Every structure is written in structure tokens, then in C-alpha cells.
A = this chain, B = another copy of it.
């Protein structure tokens, strides 16, 4: 596979609004699937599919943590500049600062910790 084909594959993975939004979440740090479910307001199976596409493209990977599976960028150094161009710079105000999910399922956990 030559360079152009390789890059085309990368862009193909990026060429989807939901996947872009997932990457926009993940560039702020690792997040579990249920979090994305809450943010994207899409069914879990659908998100899982898009995550699989991103994983197949080598952009993200996952690790299991208790009940949840956390996804993260495989190579932030390579991807973040591209995402900055595509999605604009990261603004502090827009960051999800919680390491835990803020989705309905996970929120209880956070609250319980305070």
C-alpha cells in the first residue's frame, strides 16, 4: 500500500460525523462507551460499531476497567494536530474534566464519591 492509499484510509476513517464527534471526545482523554452514549445520544450498538471502525483504522484502542470499557487515542501526538485543524483548538471550557462518565449510568458513582 503506497502512501496515498494509506493516508486515504486514514481520511476515510475520519470521514464520518459520528466518528469525528467520538474523536472530539477522546482527544480530551479516555472515555467509556456509556459516556459517549450519553453525549452522542445514539444507541450503544451503533457507537460500538463506529468504535470498531476507528479501532480497525488504528486510531483508537480500548482497555477494560471494571464494568466499563475505556477508549483512547492510540497516537495522540500524530492525531491531535489533525484534529485541531479539523475541529478547532481544544477549549478548556469544553473539556469533560471528570475521569468518570457523566452519563446517567455513571453519574451516580461520581456523586457518591463527593
- Which residues does A use to contact B, with CB under 8 Å? 2-5, 7-12, 14-21, 24, 81-82, 85-87
Contacts and interface: CB of A to CB of B under 8 A. Distances in A.
The complex is assembled from copies of this chain, and their number is: 2
Given A8-B19, A12-B15, 9 more contacts: A2-B17, A4-B21, A4-B24, A4-B87, A8-B14, A9-B15, A12-B12, A82-B82, A82-B85
A16 B21 contact: no
A48 B85 CA distance: 28
Contact of A4 (B5, B20, B85): B20
Contacts of A3: 87
28 contacts: A4-B18, A4-B20, A4-B21, A4-B24, A4-B87, A5-B17, A7-B14, A7-B17, A7-B20, A7-B86, A7-B87, A8-B15, A8-B16, A8-B19, A8-B20, A9-B15, A10-B86, A11-B11, A11-B12, A11-B14, A11-B20, A11-B86, A12-B12, A12-B15, A14-B15, A15-B15, A82-B85, A85-B85
